[in-house]
Amino acid sequence: MLQKEILLPKFGRGYHLITDVIENELGEMLPKMGLLHLFIQHTSASIMINENFEDSVRDDLETAFNDIVKEDLDYYTHITEGSDDMPAHIKVAMIGTDVTIPITNGKLNLGQWQGVYICEFRNNPRRRKLVASIIS
């Protein structure tokens, strides 16, 4: 097994494709066949696989999740870090903190319209860290 930490660039709030970042960071480390497990080390951002073709998907995801998990609700008690903090934790609980992707012929074996996303739920841009574990 191989493992590498990947420090992502700063992303503002929203859903951002990072497939190219992952592939560039891992490059020659990817074996001919195996599995890539990606884990995000944060509680206010998620990682997921979703549509990679149209930008409107990212906008719609942002709109839908903001409608489902609203900010500034009276019953939130975890508000020390701002009105976006508790909703961010709830969204992470819904989407999750890891994905596993097959590796075939030294490449990520994603579907034609799939891409890896970082889902940033906080208003202020920040760098996030992934742990990439390769099992071959």
Tokens of 136: 């071959």
| Per-residue model confidence (pLDDT) at position 84 | 96
Note whether 69 and 75 are within 8 A (CB). no
Phi, psi of 93, deg, nearest 5: -60, -30
The pLDDT tens digits for 74-127 are 999 999 999 999 999 999 999 999 999 999 999 999 999 999 999 999 999 999
Distance, in Å, from the CA atom of 19 to the CA atom of 15, rounded to the nearest integer, reads 12
pLDDT digits (tens, 9 = 90+) for 10-34: 999 999 999 999 999 999 999 999 9
- Give the pLDDT confidence of 59-76 residue by residue, as tens digits: 999 999 999 999 999 999
CATH code where residue 62 lies? 2.60.120.460
Q: How far apart are CA 109 and CA 128, in angstroms?
A: 24
| C-alpha span between 10 and 12 (Å, rounded) | 7
How many domains does the chain divide into? 1
Q: What is the pLDDT of residue 38?
A: 99
Looking at residue 116, its pLDDT comes to 98
Strands 129-135 and 2-7: antiparallel
Starting at the edge strand that comes first in sequence, how are the strands of the sheet with 45-51 ordered?
A: 14-17, 114-120, 45-51
Pick from 132, 129, 126, 133: nearest CA to 41: 129
The domain in which residue 60 lies consists of 2-135
